[in-house]
Structure 1
Amino acid sequence: MSKFTNEAKQLLEYIGGKDNISAVSHCVTRMRFVLNNPSKADVDKIEKIKCVKGTFTQAGQFQVIVGNEVTNFYNDFVNVSGVDGVSKDSAKEAAKKNMNVAQKALAHLAEIFSPLIPAIIVGGLILGFRNIIGDIKFLENGTKSIIQVYQFWAGVHSFLWLIGEAIFFFLPVGITWSISKKMGATQILGIVLGITLVSPQLLNAYAVATATNIPVWDFGFAQVKMIGYQAQVIPAILAGFVFASLELKLRKIVPEYISMIVVPFLSLIPTVLIAHVILGPLGWKIGSVISNVVYTGLTSSLNWLFAAIFGFAYAPLVITGLHHMTNAIDLQLMAQFWGTSLWPMIALSNIAQGSAVLAMLYMNKDDEEEKQVAIPAMIGSSIAAITSVGLKVMANSIGIGGLPGILSIKPQNMLSFAIAMIIAVVIPFILTIVFHKKGVLKK
């Protein structure tokens, strides 16, 4: 008998049996189920299984937290249940039948940005390093930065912008590619579509306000402004979905023997035209409204309340999957206001979670409920977020979270962010110990 045979049998029974399982997969720490009838799962009994650390439902999937031995548990479960496992992507597709319209929209958003995260992290680290060597005056009694003194580092600073610009300035290319890949459209055409939104021949959208002469495509009976959408998220998302939807529909109606020529032509050209006439300006407006609302919340007299709520709620948002929408908002803020105050709070939330876990390790109580770790972390994250917004901390870019996140903070705000980091470490650590000793939130 394998190590988790008994526990696997219990889980199979409490989850509603084999007939209630539409799909099952696993990730690094969790079993992921798509259930035909989620109400049949007896959560209380499942959470009492010896090796189970907790459960939650996210993006239409019922997830059971097992820990680092999830692979062994998964293998035993498959053997016991007779259910064939599927890939995580297949499980995600199956899970969509359990989602409402809003959840499906958020799931699509998450799947668009997930492939872009490695590039965004690299870009954030690069821009952060450029902050250090280019903007902070370390040398000659605090009067000069490293690049002002050393030619080598000046060259490095200039060279790294090539990569940073490629990632953030030309982000629409990545977005339209990702949408094409996700929806099964032709990926190279998705890339071409993205390039048409950021082509060097287009006027940068942020230069429109000061431009004396906006170039146009003159068709005689009508003119279309040659405006680019560099660093813009929503115009690229709208254009990407229109292109992919149009191509997939054309594939169904165009005869196979001419589809290689007709489908790309009739899907790409109309989409590019629609993107510059309708979708670009519309997406710009939508993005501006969203970023203005968030920016107002972050800079108003009630910014402390906005920060407190966001800092406290971000960790639960991760469980629901709603946190993915912050990527689009952050990128829009960066493009419109040359920085974001939202991302520093996300980095502080990650730090607070880590501090709470560190406290649990210190207390040597690895088997406590995750809730006991999460609540102190949320409180610490909330207070750190208030501090960050109160001190007007802004980041040049989004990137890797946690302690390295300080690299992405504007140089003039790094000390303020360091103070918020200390708060995010100390408060969750202390509260976790206090909560544990007082028996608060124990199972």
Structure 2
Amino acid sequence: MSKYTEPAKELLEKVGGSDNIDVVTHCATRMRFVLNDPKQADVDAIENIDLVKGTFTQAGQFQVIVGNEVASFYNEFSKIAGVGDTSKDEAKEKAKQNMNILQRMVSHLADIFTPIIPALVVGGLILGFRNLIGEVNMINNGTQSLVDTSQFWQGVYDFLWLIGEAIFHFLPVAITWAISRKMGTTQVLGIVLGITLVSPQLLNAYGVAGAEEIPFWDFGFAQIDMIGYQAQVIPAILAGFVLAYLEIWLRKVIPQVVSMIFVPFFALIPAVLVAHMVLGPIGWEIGSWISNVVYDGLTSAFGWLFAAIFGFAYAPLVITGLHHMTNAIDLQLMSEFDGTILWPMIALSNIAQGSAVVAMIYLNRKDKKEQQVSVPAAVSCYLGVTEPALFGINLRYVFPFVAGICGSAVAAVISVGTGVMANSIGVGGIPGILSIQVPDMLKFAIAMLAAIVIPFILTVIFARTKMGKQAYIRLGKTQP
């Protein structure tokens, strides 16, 4: 009998037994359950199990924080519970049964952007580095950049744009591929559709405004503008879903013996036509409207108020999963304004929540069990992943969460008030400064300092207030 046997038996009992488990899997630190009846889970009893560091529910999944031992614990639990191995993707699909319509829509949006985020992060860092060597005059008494004085750096500058262009200008290809992947349709058709939106044959999206004449395809009875949709998000999303649903429908109506020939043919050609005739122009207008509203709001006389609200509300959005919607807005801002004013506030919110956890590490420095969760959570938060910090520490006590969103609001006001702009989405924590446009890096560093210091101080203060005392009593802990 291993050391995990008794805790596994106890957890199985407290979640309602094997019959109440639809799906169970695990990630780096947590067990993820999809329960048939979530109300059967005895949360208080589960959190009192020695191996358990906390619990929370998100995106239809009941999650139990175990820590670095989760893989070994999961194996023992699976044997005792008699549940089969399940992938995280399968667990997510099952979990959607417990979501409302809005949560499902956001989940679908997250499924589109999650696979392409690594490329976006790399692209943001590349653009930041190109700005550093090409736009900052640091040579010859501040009169020339590295690119101006060195053929090597000029070569590096030019070469890196090959990657930057592939990521951002050809972003519709990644989006249509991600949609076909998510929908279980033919992924290469999604790629082909995306390429038709950014083909060199088309007038580049960045050249439309200054074009004297827009080329077109002439069908005699109708003409279609030959406009590309480089870096455009909404047109790619609309076109991708049309292709996916068309293919799914065609699979049902076309006999299987000829489906390999006719399904791709009758799915792709209409999807491309509709994308260029209808969805592209409509999506462009929608995307421009959204980005203009956000940009105008944040740069208006009341921009500080919008910033404060966003900085205060972003972490609560993470709890609900609605924060995934900001990816599309960020990318649209980048295509319209060559940068995003929104993403820096997201990075600052992550830093603020991490700083609140650091304060809790300081306050509860004698609680070795909690530090098994809090220390990795703080590191994760500073690197852009906030869920372990939010659900493992800050929301359990509440007052660190409040301190974090207050600090985030102040940092957001500083960021927007000083006009900080990011090249793109980047690493959503302290390393995020590398994605900030070079002239704004010092201003962002000041906002980062606020996001570090203010939540730490507020957390320590709140711990000694009535709110803090009640939190410690509720959790059965000794107040520092």
TM-score range for the pair, normalised by the shorter chain length: over 0.9
In structure 2, the residue matched to 1:274 is 274
Rounded to whole Å, the distance in 1 between the matches of 2:413 and 2:306 is 8
- Residue among 449, 456, 462 paired with 1:422: 449
* Separation of aligned partners in 2, 1:251 and 1:359: 56
**Could you report, residue by residue, the CA deviation over 1:210-260 in whole angstroms, capped at 9, with x for unpaired residues?**
221110100000001111111011111111111011112111221222222
The TM-score, its normalising length taken from structure 1, stands at 0.95
Paired residues of 1:311 and 1:383 also in contact (CA < 8 A): yes
- Which residue number corresponds to residue 417 of structure 2? 390
**Offset of 1:100 from its aligned partner?**
1.6
Deviation at 1:2, TM superposition (A): 2.3
Partner of 1:298: 298
Q: Are 2:89 and 1:62 aligned? A: no
Q: Is the alpha carbon distance of 1:2 and 1:312 closer, same or farther for their aligned partners in structure 2, counting shifts above 3 Å?
A: farther
Determine helix, strand or coil for the equivalent of 1:210: coil
Equivalent residue for 1:376, pick from 390, 403, 414: 403
CA RMSD for the aligned pairs?
1.8
- 1:191 pairs with 2:218: no
Deviations 1:52-107 (A, max 9, x none): 23322222211122222221222222222222231101111111111122111111
Map residues 215-364 of structure 1 onto 2, 5 A cutoff: 215-363=215-363, 364=365
- Say which SS state the counterpart of residue 62 (structure 2) adopts: strand
Q: Would you say the 8 A contact 2:356–2:394 is kept in 1? A: no
SS of the counterpart of 1:209? Answer: coil
CA distance in 1, matches of 2:420, 2:118: 24
The code of the aligned residue for 1:433 comes to V
Structure 2 Cα separation of the partners of residues 331 and 274 of structure 1? 23
Deviation at 1:412, TM superposition (A): 1.8
Distance in 1 of aligned mates of 2:136 and 2:64 = 47
Aligned to 2:139: 139
Aligned partners of 2:64, 2:233: CA distance in 1, in Å?
Answer: 34
Alpha-carbon distance between aligned partners in 1 of 2:50 and 2:296, rounded to the nearest angstrom: 48
Deviation of 1:26 after TM superposition, in Å, equals 0.7
TM-score by length of 2: 0.88
Gaps of 5+ in 1: none
Q: Count residues in correspondence.
A: 443
The residue correspondences of 1:34-113 to structure 2 (distance < 5 A) are 34-113=34-113
**AA partner of residue 309 (structure 1):** I
Which is further off, 78-87 or 260-269?
A: 78-87
Q: Which amino acid aligns with 2:394?
A: E
Matches of 1:51 and 1:297, distance apart in 2: 48
Measure the CA separation in 2 of the matches of 1:147 and 1:253: 59
Q: How does 1:192-207 map to 2 (within 5 A)?
A: 192-207=192-207
Q: Report the CA distance between 1:143 and its aligned residue.
A: 1.6
Tell me the distance in 1 between the aligned counterparts of 2:55 and 2:87.
Answer: 20
**Which amino acid is 1:37 matched to?**
D
Q: Distance in 2 between matches of 1:154 and 1:21?
A: 59
What corresponds to 1:128 in structure 2?
Answer: 128
Contact between 2:203 and 2:215, CA under 8 Å: does it hold in 1?
A: yes
Aligned partner of 2:209 in structure 1 is 209
- Whether the aligned pair in 2 keeps the contact of 1:53 and 1:370 (CA below 8 Å) is no
**1:412 is matched with which residue?**
439
User: 1:436: how far off?
Assistant: 4.2
Q: Secondary structure at the match of 1:313?
A: helix
Partner Cα separation in structure 1 for residue 295 and residue 7 of structure 2: 49
Q: Are the equivalent residues in 2 in contact too, given 1:131–1:407 (CA < 8 A)?
A: no
Looking at structure 1, the residues matched to 31 and 439 of structure 2 have their Cα atoms a distance apart, in angstroms, of 44
* TM-superposed deviation, 1:206: 3.6
Q: Give me the whole-angstrom Cα distance separating, in 1, the residues matched to 2:204 and 2:158.
A: 21
Deviation at 1:130, TM superposition (A): 0.8
Tell me, in whole angstroms, the C-alpha distance in 2 between the residues paired with 1:431 and 1:203.
Answer: 53
Deviation per CA, 1:5-40, whole angstroms, max 9, x where unpaired?
333233222222221111011111111111112222
Q: Distance in 2 between matches of 1:64 and 1:297?
A: 40
Whole-angstrom distance in 1 between the partners of 2:69 and 2:79: 16
Tell me whether 114-123 or 360-369 shows the greater mean CA deviation. Answer: 360-369
SS in structure 2 of the partner of residue 62 of structure 1: strand
Report the secondary structure of 1:55's partner residue: strand
Helix, strand or coil for the counterpart of 1:185?
A: coil
User: Contact 2:110–2:324 at 8 Å: present in 1 too?
Assistant: yes
- State the one-letter code of the partner of 1:189: L
Q: Which amino acid aligns with 1:157?
A: Y
**Worse-matched range after superposition: 327-336 or 10-19:** 10-19
